């Protein structure tokens, strides 16, 4: 039982390049989330998927797109990377059992955009 | 005013002491409250969840919730150097899909 996995762990991009961050969970959770974490700003929600087939914007969605490929997988795409997108990206999942929203996080991807 | 506020710290306590971490939130409709621990360079790890007023104990950790005062706290008894980390408070609005995180409190336990 690996929990939440993310690939890659590290990535360096040049401005304008594109890439997709991958996330998978093996806990049979319905909901999945993408966050970014910047120094002094805490975790900010980019996009989330409450259930397979649905996605919604979070607090900072500009410059990102997502795909909920199936119940296990939720990917985050940067179409044209900008230096402002340099951050640590975390994927999380939640069963949302009985209305509660305990979220479990993956190990993160450290992204640098030059 | 931020939706979830925490003192950034650092909070320094000696080994064996009680560490008290505090969090206030602005949305009175919030129903679920969580504490995460995050070591430097690692991902957040869920350590406590609390849903009703009062105290909830788990080992050396006690979460306290006061919805009337919109206040949630985390007490760590017999603090150890291994407890040194950033502690994130998270609040779930109503029964919705999103958690709102505070910026975190840095805890340093000195041996």
- Residue B109, helix vs strand vs coil: strand
pLDDT range class, residue A41, cuts 50, 70, 90: confident
The reply to whether residue B32 touches residue A108, judged by beta carbons under 8 angstroms, is no
Tens of pLDDT, residues B15-62: 999 999 999 999 998 889 999 999 999 999 999 999 999 999 999 999
Is residue B33 less than 8 Å (CB to CB) from chain A? Answer: no
Whole-angstrom Cα distance, residue B82 to residue B58? 17
pLDDT for the residue numbered A73: 97
Q: Write down the mean pLDDT value for chain B.
A: 94
Tens of pLDDT, residues A47-90: 999 889 899 999 999 999 999 989 999 999 999 999 999 999 99
| CB nearest B92 (choices: A58, A101, A106) | A101
pLDDT range class, residue B94, cuts 50, 70, 90: low
At a CB cut-off of 8 Å and minimum separation 6, what does A87 contact? A36, A37, A38, A111
Is residue B31 less than 8 Å (CB to CB) from chain A? Answer: yes
Residues of B in contact with A27 (CB under 8 A): none
Q: Write down the mean pLDDT value for chain A.
A: 94
Q: How far is CA A81 from CA A46, A47, A48, A105, B73, in A?
A: 15, 17, 20, 24, 39
Is the pLDDT at A16 greater than 80? The verdict is yes
């Amino acid at each position: 039982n690996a929990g939440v996995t993310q690939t890659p762990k590290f990535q360096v991009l040049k401005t304008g390049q594109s890439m997709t961050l991958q996330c998978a969970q093996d806990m049979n959770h319905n909901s999945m989330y993408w966050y970014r974490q910047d120094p002094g700003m805490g975790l900010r929600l980019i996009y989330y998927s409450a259930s397979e087939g649905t996605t919604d914007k979070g607090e900072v969605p500009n410059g990102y797109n997502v795909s909920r490929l199936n119940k296990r997988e939720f990917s985050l795409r940067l179409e044209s990377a900008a230096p402002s997108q340099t951050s640590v990206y975390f994927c999380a999942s939640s069963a949302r059992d009985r209305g509660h929203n305990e979220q479990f996080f993956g190990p993160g991807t450290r992204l640098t955009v030059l | 005013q931020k939706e979830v506020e925490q003192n950034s710290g650092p909070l320094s306590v000696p080994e064996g002491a009680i560490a008290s971490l505090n969090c206030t939130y602005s949305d009175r409709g919030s129903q679920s409250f969580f504490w995460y621990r995050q070591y430097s360079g690692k991902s957040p790890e869920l350590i406590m969840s609390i849903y009703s007023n009062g105290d909830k104990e788990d080992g050396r950790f006690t979460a306290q919730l006061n919805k009337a005062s919109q206040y949630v706290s985390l007490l760590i008894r017999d603090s150890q150097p291994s407890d040194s980390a950033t502690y994130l408070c998270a609040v779930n609005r109503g029964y919705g899909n999103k958690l709102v995180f505070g910026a975190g409190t840095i805890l340093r336990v000195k041996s």
